[in-house]
C-alpha cells in the first residue's frame, strides 16, 4: 500500500523536470520568386558570439543528393558562414545538415537539453541566417538574443530578396 503514494509523488515530479529546459524557436520564410530560372537557396543558420565567431551551427540546407557530393562545392557561396565555420566542417553533419527547402514558412525548434545549444555558455548572441541561390543573390540577417533566456523574448528581421520574414523566440 505504501508503494502507491510513492509512485504518485514521483509521477508528479516528472513533468517538472522537463519544464526548466530553455528553448529557441525559429521561423524562416523562403519567398516565392518569379524568375526565369529558379533554384532553391542554400541556407545556413548559426549562433554567433559578439566577436562574430561561430558558437554553434544549427542548420545547413544544401543539395545533399547530387552525384559525387557536388552540392558541397557550392556551400562556399554562403560566404559569411563559410568563412566563419563552414570551411572547417566535414559534411554532412548529423542533425545539422539537410536538403534545400521549397519556398514557404519553415519552423525549427532547438532546446537546451540536447543538440548544439546544450553546451552553449550563458551570454548575448546573434542568430544569423544566410541564403545564397544559384542564378540569384545572397542575403544575411541577424537577430540578437540572450541565452539562456531569463524571460520569453522575441526578435525579428525582414529579408528583401532571398529571405522573407525571420523571427527568433526563446522560452526559459
- Tens of pLDDT, residue by residue over 35-93, are 888 899 999 999 999 999 999 999 999 998 888 888 898 999 999 999 999 999 988 88
Reply yes or no on whether the pLDDT at 127 is more than 90: yes
Give residue 17's pLDDT: 39
Q: Mean pLDDT, to the nearest integer, of 17-44?
A: 87
Longest dimension (CA), the chain: 74
Give residue 114's pLDDT: 86
C-alpha–C-alpha distance, residues 110 and 117, integer Å? 7
- Band of residue 20 on the pLDDT scale cut at 50, 70, 90: low
Per-domain boundaries in the chain: 22-171
Q: Where are the alpha helices (DSSP H) in the chain?
A: 3-19, 79-84
pTM score, whole prediction: 0.85
Q: Mean pLDDT, to the nearest integer, of 100-117?
A: 94
Helices (H) and strands (E) in the chain, counts: 2, 9
Q: What percent of the chain lies above the pLDDT cut of 70?
A: 88
With a CB cutoff of 8 Å and minimum separation 6, the contacts of 25 are 107, 108, 109, 110, 168, 169, 170, 171
Q: What percent of the chain lies above the pLDDT cut of 90?
A: 72
Reply yes or no on whether the pLDDT at 12 is more than 80: no
C-alpha–C-alpha distance, residues 158 and 164, integer Å? 6
Amino acid at each position: 500500500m505504501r508503494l502507491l503514494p510513492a509512485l504518485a509523488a514521483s509521477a508528479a515530479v516528472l513533468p517538472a523536470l522537463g519544464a526548466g529546459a530553455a528553448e529557441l524557436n525559429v521561423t524562416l520564410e523562403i519567398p516565392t520568386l518569379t524568375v526565369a530560372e529558379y533554384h532553391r537557396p542554400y541556407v545556413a543558420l548559426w549562433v554567433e558570439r559578439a566577436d562574430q565567431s561561430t558558437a554553434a551551427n544549427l542548420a545547413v540546407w544544401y543539395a545533399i543528393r547530387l552525384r559525387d557530393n557536388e552540392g558541397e562545392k557550392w556551400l562556399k557561396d554562403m560566404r559569411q558562414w563559410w568563412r566563419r565555420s563552414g570551411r572547417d566542417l566535414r559534411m554532412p553533419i548529423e542533425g545539422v545538415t539537410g536538403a534545400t527547402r521549397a519556398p514557404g514558412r519553415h519552423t525549427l525548434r532547438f532546446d537546451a537539453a540536447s543538440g548544439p545549444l546544450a553546451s552553449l555558455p550563458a551570454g548575448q548572441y546573434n542568430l544569423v541566417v544566410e541564403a545564397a541561390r544559384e542564378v540569384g543573390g545572397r542575403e544575411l540577417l541577424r537577430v540578437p538574443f540572450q541565452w539562456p533566456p531569463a524571460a520569453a523574448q522575441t526578435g525579428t528581421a525582414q529579408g528583401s530578396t532571398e529571405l522573407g520574414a525571420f523571427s527568433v523566440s526563446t522560452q526559459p
